[in-house]
Amino acid sequence: MAQDVNISSRSESYKYLDESALAYLRHLSFAARGAVDGAYAGKHRSVVKGRSQEFTDYREYLPGDDVRSIDWRVYGRTDRYVIKLCEQETLMTCHFLLDSSASMAFGGSWHKEYFGSHDISKYDYACYLAAALSYLLLRQGDAVSLTTFNSAIRSHLPAGGTLSHLHRVARALQEQKVRRDTYIPHVLRQAFPLLKRRGILIVISDFLDDCDGMFEALDMYLSRGFEVVLFHVLHRHELELPKLASVNFVDAESGERLTSVPEDVQAAYGRELQAHIDTIRAGAEARKIDYDLISTQTHYPVAVRDYLEQRRRRCAYS
C-alpha cells in the first residue's frame, strides 16, 4: 500500500527533488515484473514462502524448521507434523547505477556558452530521473540503492526504504561531480557483490562505452534474477548536431580534437550514432532488458510517466 511521502518535511531542499514534478508522478507506481526477493513485507509477491495471511500449501516438518511454523491443528487431527506454507508479500529493492563520467556533463554550461541559454546536462537529467524514480519506489514502500560511477564506482548508498533515505539519495546525487571517462563493464562487475538482494537494476548512462562488455557484465545480474532496466540518456545536440559554422570538437573524456562543420557531417554522424543505439537496443531485447532512449529535450516527468506506462502494459500482458 502506497504511503504519502512528504519530501519537504525537513528544512533541507534538494536540487533534484522538484515538488511539481514529483506531484505530477504521485499517482504512478513502479510495478514489479515478477516475484521479487525482499526482506520485509511489502506489496510485491515474494519468491519465499512464509507466514502470511494467504495459504498456499503444507509440507512435512523437517528438523531445523521453526517449530512455530508447525500447524498444530493438523497435528491434532492427523498426529503428523506439518508446516503450513503461505505466499509472503515482500518489499522490492531497486538499485540505481548512475553514470557520472565527464561525457554526462554535456549540455549544461556549454550550451549557454554557444547558444546563450541554459540547457539541462545529461548528468542533471539522469539525476532528476533517478530522484523521481526513487521517490516513486520509496513512496510505494520499496527500497532504493544508489551507486554512481565513471570508470569505477565513485559512491555507493546501500538500499533503504524510508523518507530519510530519499533525502540521502538526493544529497548523494547533488554532491556528485562529473569527471573522467566511463568503463561500465568494470563498474558492473565491481557493483555485483555490493548488490546483495535481488531486485531491479536501473542503469542510467549515455552508454558511450563497450556495449559487448556491458552486456556480458549484465548477464551476471540477469542470471542471478535481477531485472535490468537501461535508461539511455542523450542530449538533443548529440542526436542532432548543433547548427554551427565550424566547431572544434573536443572529446569530453579523451581530449581528442576534430574540427568540422556540423552540417557537413550530420548525415554520416546520424548513421553512426543510430548504429550504436541499434546495437544497444538489440542487445537489450535479446536479454529481455528494458531499454529506453531518452532525449534531454523530453521533460523528465514525461519520460518517467511514459516509461512506467509502457512497463505497466508489459507487466499486465505477461
Partner 1 sequence: MRILLGYISLVNPALWVGVSALAVPLAIHLLTRRTPKNMTFPTLRFLRAARAHQSRLYHLRHLLLLLTRMALLLLILLAFLRPVLMRGARRRAASEAGRTMLILMDVSASMGYVQAGVSPLAQARAAVLEILDHYEAGDRLNLIFMKVTPDASFDEPSDNLFLLRRDLANVTAVPESPDINAAIAEAVSQLRGVTEGRHQIYFISDFQRTNWSSVNFDQVDADTELLFVPVGPERGENCAITDVALRPAAPTVAEEIEIVCKVTNYSDRSHQLPLQMRFRDGEDFRQEVRLEPRATVSSSFHLRIHDAGQYEGQVFIPEDGLKVDDRRNFVLDVAEKVRVLIVSDEDPRDKETGTAFLRRAVNPFPQSHDAAVVSSTVSSREVSKSDLDTAQVVILSGVHELSRRSGEAILEYLETGGSVAYFHVGAAASQNLERLAAWSEGNFVLPFELSGLIDLARQEGYATWAQANFDHPILRKFRDSADLGDLRFERFFSTERAKDKGRVLLRYDDGNIAMAETLVGPGVLLLCNFGCSLQHSDVVRHPLFVPLVHEIIKGLRPSVGRRNTFLVGQPCFTTIRSVTDDERVVLRDPGGESVEGNVEVNDDGVAVLFPKTSACGFYRVYVGEAIAGSAAVNLDVLESNLERLDMAQLEELAQQPRTTYFAAGDAAGLAGLLEGEPLWHYFLLAAVGLLLIEQILVLLVRH
User: Whats the size of the chain, residue-wise?
Assistant: 318
As measured in angstroms, the least distance from the Cβ of 314 to partner 1 is 30
Specify whether the CB–CB gap between 122 and 206 falls below 8 A: yes
Cell of 25: 508522478
Specify the residue, 193 or 255, whose C-beta has the smaller distance to partner 1: 255
As measured in angstroms, the least distance from the Cβ of 16 to partner 1 is 21
Burial 283-310 (b: 16+ CB within 10 A, else e): bbeeeebbbbbbbbbeebbebbbebbee
Specify whether the CB–CB gap between 98 and 204 falls below 8 A: yes
As measured in angstroms, the least distance from the Cβ of 310 to partner 1 is 26
Helix or strand holding residue 46 (H, E) = strand 41-60
Residue 142 has, within 13 A of its CA and on its CB side, a CA count of 27
Specify the residue, 11 or 248, whose C-beta has the smaller distance to partner 1: 248
As measured in angstroms, the least distance from the Cβ of 49 to partner 1 is 48
Specify the residue, 55 or 115, whose C-beta has the smaller distance to partner 1: 115
Binding site for partner 1 (CB under 8 A): 102-106, 110, 113-114, 122, 206, 208, 235, 238, 242, 244-254, 256-260, 264-265, 267-269, 271-273, 276
As measured in angstroms, the least distance from the Cβ of 274 to partner 1 is 9
The DSSP symbol for 206 reads -
Specify the residue, 12 or 264, whose C-beta has the smaller distance to partner 1: 264
Specify the residue, 74 or 277, whose C-beta has the smaller distance to partner 1: 277
The DSSP symbol for 36 reads B
Specify whether the CB–CB gap between 191 and 226 falls below 8 A: no
As measured in angstroms, the least distance from the Cβ of 203 to partner 1 is 17
Specify the residue, 3 or 248, whose C-beta has the smaller distance to partner 1: 248
Pairing label, strands 93-99, 200-205:
parallel
